[in-house]
Amino acid sequence: MNGEFLILFFVVAVALVGGAIVFASLIAPRSVNAQKFEPYECGIPTEGPTWIQFSIGYYMFAIIYLVFDVETVFLYPWGVVMKSMGLRSFIEIVIFIFILGFGLLYAWKKGALKWV
Amino acid sequence: MLLEIFSFSTLTANIDKSLHAWMAPWLAVVTELVIIGIVFLLFYAVLGLFLVYLERKVCAIIQNRIGPNRVGKWGLLQTVADFIKLITKELIPIRNADSFLFNLAPFIVIAASFMAMAAIPFAKGLHAIDLNIGIFYIIAVSSLGVVGILIAGWSSNSKYSLIGAMRSGAQIVSYELSVGLSLLAVVVFAGTMQLSAIVESQANGWWIFKGHIPALIAFIIYLIASTAEINRGPFDLAEAESELTAGFHTEYSGIKFAFFFLAEYINMFIVAAIAATMFFGGWMPFHIGHWDAFNRVMDYIPSVVWFFGKTFFIIYLIMWFKWTFPRLRIDQLLNLEWKYLLPLSLMNIVIIAFVVLMGWYFH
């Protein structure tokens, strides 16, 4: 089968979730109670809003991740041709990884990897 | 040579031929699609139920308990009973939640894990789609699940869910790097990304043996990073039940909760199946170089047994981790990835490139 048939798997997955939710909502009991629809917080009413500004630490890691993930994507085509290209591709990858490692070192020294 | 009797390609070819014999071509294709869809759906559901049962049994053995033993023989129907219970439970809509995103999240999580299954070679000639970028596709699609987790945590409008989702997002994206780089090791050795070709390349020995030390390092990095990527213990602080109740799916009830649970276990299967395929030869029997007599004997064990044997061995390892190690803190977790695993895997890539250049591995 070809790559186009991946859409089949997407459709089946969506049908599985959709079908089960529709089925469950048909047979499941339903009762209305004001307290039941509150978000869970140790069983007491929620204090303050939830959608607030969040710790910057997570975003720092997300930004560094973005850089390194793109580099990883570049490494895959190299991995496929490494054997056939020989010495030239080895020298290139040493330079590439050196620059990449230097970037990581820079972020490390700048304190981007420190948890705040 | 592998015994043709264990190959699934003859079976699938025969089904294809007989369908085409008494149907219009387009109808035959549609029938095949329906068959494949139903088979994968059943496999997916049964696998999920079985893995939950297995987890409870393994946990019980490690903690010196008996585990589920009432429903059905050896408690085998326990998870079926759990499923029936969950599907008959009320779906509680949370007040002030972003209801569109709240309902969308289970779809994304399930679709990501279901689509990743499409490219896994289960046995000789038994894979739904043999993409030429197979391993790359699986990494790409399975990492989409994190979007569902973030959406679930954000839309629930609950503090536990939000903290759980944020932790989970930081953790999954970080460990994604090490997973990608450690799998790249095998891609360099095999010179292809197509999963069937990678399996074929292990006909005279699995990569973990043929690639000796660099492949072993890559495998250990992969095992640690993938355990973190599927949010399992000791890296399960996204759903640390002692502090966050259930993490990002705290607010989900009934069948929607079940889907998050199901996706988590299927992701564990996918991770283990990739490890088995890339490092332990997938469905390829245990072969040693040119020991033809030995290899011939090994061929008598069907390929599907080899695949599931290796996969469940790795699943057992991952479960063993969970019930052995204590949970990490978020800063320890991120330190482990960024200060140890990532530099190590970058260095490992250079070593592998050198080993391949000099030909210091078994061909």
Least CB–CB distance from A100: residue in B254, B256, B346:
B346
* B94 close to B251: Cβ distance less than 8 angstroms: yes
- DSSP string for residues in B114-174: HHHHTT---BTTB-S---TTHHHHHHHHHTTHHHHHHHHHHHTT-HHHHHHHHHHHHHHHH
* B178 close to B346: Cβ distance less than 8 angstroms: no
Mean pLDDT computed over every residue of chain B = 84
Least CB–CB distance from A17: residue in B97, B110, B128:
B110
Residue B3 has pLDDT above 60, yes or no: no
Nearest partner of B258 among B94, B22, B130, B84, judged by Cα:
B84
| Cα–Cα distance measured from residue B224 to residue B210, given in angstroms and rounded to the nearest whole number | 21
Domain-embedded: residue B37? no
Residue B315 has pLDDT above 60, yes or no: yes
Domain-embedded: residue B88? no
* B215 close to B205: Cβ distance less than 8 angstroms: no
Closest residue in B to A96 (Cα) is B350
* Interface probe with B: pick from A35, A40, A56, most Cβ of B within 10 Å: A40
Query: What pLDDT band is residue B169 in, cutting at 50, 70 and 90?
Result: confident
Domain-embedded: residue A116? no
Mean pLDDT of B192-199: 86
Residue A50 has pLDDT above 60, yes or no: yes
Domain-embedded: residue A115? no
Which pLDDT does position B5 carry in this prediction? Answer: 58
Query: Does A46 touch chain B if contact means CB atoms closer than 8 Å?
Result: yes
What is the domain count for chain B? 1
From chain A, the residues in CB contact with B161 under 8 A are: 39
- DSSP string for residues in B49-92: HHHHHHHHHHHHHHTT---S-SSSGGGTTHHHHHHHHHHTS--P
Domain-embedded: residue A114? no
Least confident of B226-235, B287-296, B327-336: B287-296
Q: What pTM did the predictor assign?
A: 0.89
Query: Does A116 touch chain B if contact means CB atoms closer than 8 Å?
Result: no
Q: Cβ A24–B88 below 8 Å, yes or no?
A: yes
Domain-embedded: residue B247? yes
Residue A25 has pLDDT above 80, yes or no: yes
Domain-embedded: residue B19? no
Closest residue in A to B335 (Cα) is A113
Cα angle value B214/B220/B226 (rounded, 5°): 125
Which pLDDT does position B6 carry in this prediction? Answer: 62
Chain CA centroid to CA B174, Å: 18
Nearest partner of B40 among B122, B103, B107, judged by Cα:
B122
Q: No. of H helices and E strands in chain A?
A: 3, 0
Mean pLDDT of A104-113: 84
From chain A, the residues in CB contact with B129 under 8 A are: 1-3, 5-6
Q: Cβ A41–B159 below 8 Å, yes or no?
A: yes
Kindly report the backbone phi and psi dihedral angles of residue B125, in degrees, each rounded to the nearest multiple of 5, phi listed first.
75, 10
Each residue of B238-295: pLDDT tens digit?
A: 777 777 777 788 888 888 888 888 888 999 999 999 999 988 888 888 888 777 787 7
- DSSP string for residues in B213-256: HHHHHHHHHHHHHHHHHTT-TTS-GGG-HHHHTTGGGTT--HHH
Cα angle value B4/B133/B309 (rounded, 5°): 45
Query: What pLDDT band is residue A1 in, cutting at 50, 70 and 90?
Result: low
Query: Which residues on neighbouring strands pair with residue B123, listed in sequence order?
Result: B126
Least CB–CB distance from A50: residue in B114, B158, B173:
B158
Least CB–CB distance from A14: residue in B103, B111, B331:
B111
| Cα–Cα distance measured from residue B244 to residue B238, given in angstroms and rounded to the nearest whole number | 8
Closest residue in A to B90 (Cα) is A28
Which pLDDT does position B4 carry in this prediction? Answer: 58
Domain-embedded: residue B22? no
Which pLDDT does position B229 carry in this prediction? Answer: 86
From chain A, the residues in CB contact with B349 under 8 A are: 75, 93, 97
CATH of the domain at A53: 1.20.58.1610
| Cα–Cα distance measured from residue B295 to residue B1, given in angstroms and rounded to the nearest whole number | 9
| Cα–Cα distance measured from residue B240 to residue B253, given in angstroms and rounded to the nearest whole number | 18
Q: Which of residues 177-206 of B touch A (CB under 8 A)?
A: 177, 180-181, 184, 187-188, 191-193
Domain-embedded: residue A80? yes
DSSP 8-state code for residue A37: G
Mean pLDDT of B318-330: 86
What is the domain count for chain A? 1
Nearest partner of B77 among B51, B49, B57, B98, judged by Cα:
B49
Q: Which of residues 17-36 of A touch B (CB under 8 A)?
A: 17-18, 20-21, 23-25, 27-31, 36
Which pLDDT does position B286 carry in this prediction? Answer: 82
Q: Which of residues 257-316 of B touch A (CB under 8 A)?
A: 259
Domain-embedded: residue B319? yes
From chain B, the residues in CB contact with A90 under 8 A are: 353-354, 357
* B46 close to B83: Cβ distance less than 8 angstroms: no
CB contacts < 8 A, A to B, total 200
Residue given tokens 């197509």 in the structure block: B194
Q: Cβ A72–B181 below 8 Å, yes or no?
A: yes
Domain-embedded: residue A84? yes
End-to-end CA distance of chain A: 49
End-to-end CA distance of chain B: 17
Least confident of A102-106, B11-15, B171-175, B348-352: B11-15
Each residue of B137-154: pLDDT tens digit?
A: 888 888 888 888 889 888
Domain span at residue A19? 3-109
Each residue of A66-103: pLDDT tens digit?
A: 888 888 888 888 888 888 888 888 898 899 888 888 88
Tokens of B18: 């007989």
Q: Cβ B111–A31 below 8 Å, yes or no?
A: no
Domain span at residue B159? 94-358
| Cα–Cα distance measured from residue B61 to residue B40, given in angstroms and rounded to the nearest whole number | 31
Q: Cβ A82–B353 below 8 Å, yes or no?
A: yes
Query: Does A50 touch chain B if contact means CB atoms closer than 8 Å?
Result: yes
Domain-embedded: residue B205? yes
